[in-house]
Homo-oligomer: A and B are copies of this chain.
Amino acid sequence: MSTSTPSHPGVVGSGVVAAVDIGGTRIKAALVDRSYGVLAQTTTPTPSDIGADIGSAVAATVKALLGSVPPEQAAHLVGCGVVVPGLVDEAQGVGLYSANLGWRDLDIRAQVESYLHLPAVVGHDVRAGLLAESRLGAAQGHRQVLFMPLGTGIAGALLLDGHVVSGDGWAGELGHVVVDPSGPSCPCGQRGCLEVIASAGAIERIYRAQSHVALSAEDISVRAAAGEDLASSVWGHAVRALGQAIVMTVTLTGVDLVLVGGGLSQSGEVLLTPLRDDVAGRLTFQRPPTIQRAGLGDRAGSLGAACLIWDAL
């Protein structure tokens, strides 16, 4: 590898990777060096037709990143990690299915490689986020972790015995664990999924249906903390459903750290304190987990993409 620019020995000596997290609404991307230093980052709207030409969308993002750093750094791009939601075949680099992004069997790795002429890897956004949390964030030193981003929906990823579980791409659908068989219908076809009771989207929907007032989940959490009856009731219902799903996961897998991420985690202790109390009240013989906020915020996915491509190179 060239080391022709001694003024940036760290970067140039080992190169940089592009790390791209493609979400339903935004693409978050970063240039990341071998020590996981972020040299540049960018957030852009996700093109509505991204499935039609994902290679060109990723290439445009990478080009924007490279344009924001000195040319001697840009010249040493060595690979690209891409993470996406939905069902992902990580070994083949294929996006099997994303309801949000509207694709099936999309050969993401081949398309990205054909545009960039560099090695690429493809991962799942939440599993990659957990990998980043375990290497760089709040799960460092832990081997049994549930990562639970709570946003419009609810996702999940498991680190068990130090390994992020893929389940051939099927693992971690915590949002679709049934917590109340007589609960509301879920678009997935089941009833009472965690996601239709305890996601930010569900909290907003349930509050609005009962009050005819449209508030964000964060505003509802503030009202709950202030003692408003309806807000407290909706919030408490969500907390109990989350507690139930956490205890179930602890019982089945032995996780001892639960990292709460996503928009709902911004409510901080208004969420975490009652959630810890609820979980403590349910556990009997199981090992009690530590429940805390994730550490990397909305950069977990792109840092996870960086972990994946550095591991592959």
| A residues in contact (CB < 8 Å) with B | 143-144, 156, 158, 160-161, 163, 165-174, 176-178, 181, 188-190, 244, 247-256, 282, 284-287
Contact = CB atoms under 8 A, between A and B. Distances in A.
Given A144-B168, A167-B255, A285 B189 contact: yes
25 contacts: A158-B252, A158-B253, A160-B160, A160-B167, A161-B165, A165-B253, A170-B250, A170-B254, A170-B256, A171-B253, A173-B252, A173-B286, A174-B252, A176-B251, A176-B286, A177-B251, A178-B244, A178-B247, A178-B282, A189-B284, A189-B285, A190-B282, A248-B248, A248-B252, A253-B253
A281 B250 CA distance: 26
A190 B284 contact: yes
Most buried by B among A171, A250, A287: A171
A171 B160 contact: yes
A172 to B, nearest CB: 7
Given A160-B165, A167-B144, A178-B244, A172 B284 contact: no
A168 B254 contact: yes
B170 A248 contact: no
A143 B165 CA distance: 11
Given A247-B178, A248-B177, A248-B178, A285 B188 contact: yes
A87 to B, nearest CB: 9
Closest 6 CB pairs of A and B: A167-B254, A170-B254, A189-B284, A171-B254, A160-B165, A173-B251
A250 B286 CA distance: 21
Contacts of A252: 156, 158, 171-174, 177, 248-249, 252-253
Given A177-B248, A189-B284, A161 B156 contact: no
Tell which of A172, A177, A190, A253 has the most Cβ of chain B within 10 Å: A253
Could you tell me the dominant secondary structure of chain A's interface residues? loop
Contacts of A168: 143-144, 254, 256, 287
A163 B166 contact: no
Contacts of A249: 252
Contacts of A244: 178, 181
Contacts of A181: 244
Contacts of A178: 244, 247-248, 282
A177 B143 CA distance: 22
Contacts of A158: 252-253
A126 to B, nearest CB: 13
A158 B252 CA distance: 9
Contacts of A285: 176, 188-189
A252 to B, nearest CB: 6
B248 A167 contact: no
From A255, A282, A284, name the one whose CB has the most chain B CB atoms within 10 angstroms.
A284
